[in-house]
Every structure is written in C-alpha cells, then in structure tokens.
Structure 1
Amino acid sequence: MARRIPPLNPLRVFEVVARSQNLTVAAQELHVSQSAVSRQIAVLEGYLGVELFRRERHGVSLTRVGQAYAEEVVPAFDAIATATARLLKNTSQGALRVRTYTTFAAKWLIPRLPDFQAQYPSVEVRIDNAIPDVDFDRDPADLAIQFGDGRWPRVSADFLFHDEIEPVCTPEYLRTHRGGSRGKPEALLRHRLLVSHYRRNDWDDWLAFAGLTEMAERTERMSFGSSVLTWQAALDGLGIAIGQAAMLQAELASGRLIRPFARPLVRSKSYYLVRPAVQRESRKVTAFRDWLLDTVAREQRAAK
C-alpha cells in the first residue's frame, strides 16, 4: 500500500508556523510573504481535510488536531535537519582525502605538496594508494587522480597531462653497454630490460613505436612490483627501464637518469583529476583542484 505524503512545501510551511506560532516570523524564516504562508497552510488543510490553525485577532494558534500533528511533524523535520548537517559536515570538514597510485603519489604529488601546505596550512591532506578506479560511493575519497581516457561514469574529470614514455638509464650504464663512446644506443636493447608489473606493456609499445621490436626479442627482462622500484633498479645500474617523463623530472633534470634514444611515445591515455559529478564542492576540494591545475599549467609553461 502506497504511503500518503502531503505536499512537502506546504508541510514545511506548517512545521515553521507550528514551531514559531507566528505567521510573520515564519514568513521571515522562509523568505516569503505572510500571505504566501497563509496560502500554503490552506493547501495543507485542504489536502488533510482538517483545520490545523485557529485564525485569531492577534495571530494563529494550533487546533487540537494541529497540535497532535505538529508533535510528530516538527521532530521529523528536526531529524532531517540533523541528518543534513551531519552529511554536509562529513563532506566539508576533516582531512582532504586524495586517492591515487603509489607511483604518482611518490614521484609527482608528494614532492609538490609542501607548496600546497604553504598556501593552505589549515587543510590536512591524506593520501590513499590504490590501483582500481575510484568509486566515490564506496571509497573514502574526496578526489582521485586516475589514468585513463577521461571518460568515467558519475565523475567530473580535469585533464592533467599526457602519459609520455621512453627508455631511461644512468649515464654510466649507457657508456658501459652501448659498445664504446660512438656506439649506438640500440645496443642497450640486447641487455637487461627492467619492467614494471602494472605497466608491463610499456616496453612492447615503445619498441613497436620505435621499430625496434626484433632487436629486443631475446633480451632478458626483470620485473618489479611497481614503477618506483623499476626506476630505482635503473638508478642502481641493473638495466634500462621505461620512464614516464612527468614522474622523473627530478632525476632527468639532475642527470641521474638520461634518455638515450630521445624518442618519446605519447600514449592515448592520460592522467586526470576526478571528483564526484554531483556534489557540492567544499572549500578544501576547490582549493586543492585550483592548486593542482595551476601547478600543472605553470610547469608546462616553464618547460616550453
């Protein structure tokens, strides 16, 4: 059997008038005219078929039926208000929860976080590392940084930067394995290739792009559980790895790692900042989004 719920706007007006016992005060709280309040009360009385208020010379008062109805309706609206306040508090207060990949957090986000904290010292940032795409209904996150094509359901996505990959190694590794100072870098492909488990297709994609697949067909491959470990292995001279330009800016700028082929491949997928499509953005979310997009834009301008 369907529940009978009266029109919600007249019910809301009844709750305010019953609580304040004053049409003028109720009109001020609801930001409408006193006559509009009276009309809404009349609509509710017509729906229920009872008189809820006595119209008296100096105002209104609840009838016996109206009083009994108010004793249940007013607490119901109080409960709704409390639940709404709790929900808004949970989404607008507390730490800013950012979900992303371990590699992105370690190699890109964390080195830049001191700048955000200097600008917004009152905002605490908590970083959660995970591989699967975020589900904001399931996962405790306010924002996420994801890798993909930017088309995810129920989220708004801001483009950050493309995924640009190419082989990297140490200068010493290049000198040792290319067959002399005039040797071609292709000789490196006959030695150990370092592979990240979650990006295990990067080598094959780059080799196909460079037309060098056959040269590396029989080359030993050493696999690691993350890109961070793979790049550390390259820094320690264990082999040559596929690097992501955005994640290795510090190592490339310092010369600890080099790009012996200088042939970057820009992938079709990119990095995006994602947030719930339907959600009132809190100050902390807006601040982080603005800072992140500004940081990316500033660094791209500086690189040109």
Structure 2
Amino acid sequence: MSKSLPPLNPLRVFEAVARLGNLTKAAEELHVSQSAVSRQITTLEGYLDVRLFTREARGVVLTKQGRFYRDEVSPAFARIAAATQRLRSSGSSIPLKVSAYTTFAAKWLLPNLSKFEQAHPRIEIRLTSSVQPVNFDKDDVNIAIQFGDGKRTDVTSIRLFDDLIEPVCSPSIMASDRPLLTPPDLVHHKLIHSRFRTADWPDWQRANGVETLRFKQGPNMPSSLLAYEAAVGGLGVAIGQTHLLKQELASGQLIRPFDLPLRRPLGYYALLPRNSDQAEARVFLEWLKDEMKLQGLD
C-alpha cells in the first residue's frame, strides 16, 4: 500500500498551489520559499510522470491531469484537517453556519441532515434561510446554498443540481370533470404562482407552446413552500421544482399530470468565500455532492 502513495510533503504543496492558483500565495501559507514550492511540485510531477501545472503570466494553471488529481486529493486533505480540528477541540462541537433558500432547506436539506450529523457528529450545523444574495464580507455565514446561474465571480460556486420545473397538482384535480391530459387543459384551472419565481410559469408555457392561451389567475403565494401546499390542498396547479418534491410525488400528494419537465440554465449552487480553507465547510460540501449523487440529482 505504501508504495502507491506519493511523497506526502510534495503532495501537501500541490494541494495548496492547486487551491490557491499561485506559487507565492502557497509559499506564504506553507511558510516556505517560492523556490521550495517549485521544487516540491517538480518532485511530485517526476514521481507521477505527468505535468500538473502550466505557467502563465498571472500564475500557474492546472493541466487536465492536474485538475483530476486535485479533485481526488483535495477532499482527503479537507477531511484530515477537519478530523484534526475536531480532535483538538476538546470534545466541543464545531459550529458551521449554513444559509440556504427556505424551499431547499425545507424540502431537501432538513430531511437529509440527520445523515450528515451521524457521519460528522462534531460539526454542528447552524441553519438560517434567506433569498438575498450572500455577502461573505458582511453576513455571518460559512457556506450558502442559493438559486441562480452560478456566474458570480466574487465567490467560489459549485453546482449542486439543475432547475427542473413542471406543473404539479392534487389528485383531486385529475379526478375532476376537467382532468389535465394535455397542456391546453390548464385553461380550466387556476395557476398558483410563487412570489420569487415569477418566470417559472411563462418559461414552461413557452417551452410547451401554450403561452398565448388565457389562463386563470390563481393565488400568488409568498413562497414556493406555500405554493406547493396550496396545490396539495387542491387550490389550483403549481409549477413545481421536481427535484424538491420527491416526497410529495412519491406519496401521491402531488401528481405530475403531463410528465413534461423543463430544464433551465439555472440551478442550486453551494457558495463559499473565495479561497476558503475552512475544513468543516469543505466537509459539508463534499457530503452535499456525495448525497446528491447517491440520489441521482443532476
């Protein structure tokens, strides 16, 4: 087993350079000279017999092999750092402040959070909710889960899953004298809207060629959570986020009448401060990605 391990000091230097993207910054973090960092990278590249970085005017850039190696190695260092900090914390829990959209928190995070607590009992999740863009310079937050296009340049943004939307309704609507068999049948029912997702219905209608039809205006709810509850109660048809309604769909509380989901160029993203080195945040991020992969979310 030991023969398959690379020299560990060069590996630690590689992780720092790959994370920071800069030899000088890595040298400062590791309290060594830049030339020492360069030598360690050369040693590791020689051991692996691959090129890990290319030099550019603004610093170093990972090669394809370097990106693969970083993605495999970095989580191990995060776990080692987290384990070390937990061991040194004298048995006290380590708080991790997570901000998440309310719908994501209620429909995905809370139903799954016990799995994280069982795997990492020393990390205490302190959860808050917000729909406002996180500002890590002002907000008392370590990691945020927000909805958008993932193009913010002031944070590290990791996609969790795409935005998949489609109409959902109560079984009572399907049992009525006006069941939903094709998209034009929506004209016979009230459409439930959510305050912060005003583009959902127009986007889905446009994608399915029914944007010119006259639809009945249903209740405009202050959140998606209440929109879904209104749909469960038979007050109309909501436009649902399929990935966040697995429980309601599995139990039969809600039905997908058309099975015509629309995937948009938006999604849920985990956001961290640029160059974040907090071990607990990265452990939580790895758990998020692993759990969503297990659940088949994309």
CA offsets 1:228-263 (integer angstroms, 9 cap, x no match): 000000001111000001110111112211110111
Matches of 1:190 and 1:276 in 2, distance apart?
48
1:266 corresponds to = 263
1:124 corresponds to = 124
2:293 paired with 1:297: yes
Matches of 1:211 and 1:184 in 2, distance apart?
11
Name the aligned partner's letter for residue 222 of structure 2. Answer: G
Unaligned runs of 5+ in 2: 1-30, 33-88
Cα shift at 1:111:
0.6
Which residue, 252, 261, 272 being the options, matches 1:275?
A: 272
Q: What does 1:179-198 correspond to in 2, within 5 Å?
A: 184=182, 186-198=184-196
Please report the TM-score for the alignment, with normalisation by the length of structure 2: 0.66
Secondary structure of residue in 2 paired with 1:139? coil
Q: What does 1:9-48 correspond to in 2, within 5 Å?
A: none
Which residue, 206, 209, 233 being the options, matches 1:208?
A: 206
**Are the aligned partners of 2:182 and 2:258 in contact in 1 as well (CA < 8 Å)?**
no
Q: Percent identity?
A: 41
1:104 corresponds to = 104
Matches of 2:182 and 2:177 in 1, distance apart?
10
Q: What does 1:129-144 correspond to in 2, within 5 Å?
A: 129-144=129-144
2:85 corresponds to = none
Matches of 1:260 and 1:218 in 2, distance apart?
17
**Are the aligned partners of 1:178 and 1:186 in contact in 2 as well (CA < 8 Å)?**
no
CA offsets 1:72-98 (integer angstroms, 9 cap, x no match): xxxxxxxxxxxxxxxxx9xxx841101
Matches of 2:201 and 2:189 in 1, distance apart?
13
Matches of 1:250 and 1:214 in 2, distance apart?
33
1:38 corresponds to = none
- Structure 1's consecutive aligned runs of 4 or more residues displaced over 4 angstroms after TM superposition are 182-185
2:53 corresponds to = none
2:227 paired with 1:230: yes
Secondary structure of residue in 1 paired with 2:151? coil
**Are the aligned partners of 2:183 and 2:208 in contact in 1 as well (CA < 8 Å)?**
no
Larger CA Rg, structure 1 vs 2: 1
Q: CA distance change for structure 1 residues 140 and 132 in 2, over 3 Å: closer, same or farther?
A: same
1:241 corresponds to = 238
**Are the aligned partners of 1:178 and 1:185 in contact in 2 as well (CA < 8 Å)?**
no
RMSD: 2.3
CA offsets 1:132-168 (integer angstroms, 9 cap, x no match): 1111111000001111121112211111110000000
Please report the TM-score for the alignment, with normalisation by the length of structure 1: 0.65
Which residue, 282, 286, 291 being the options, matches 1:286?
A: 282
Q: How many equivalent residue pairs? A: 210
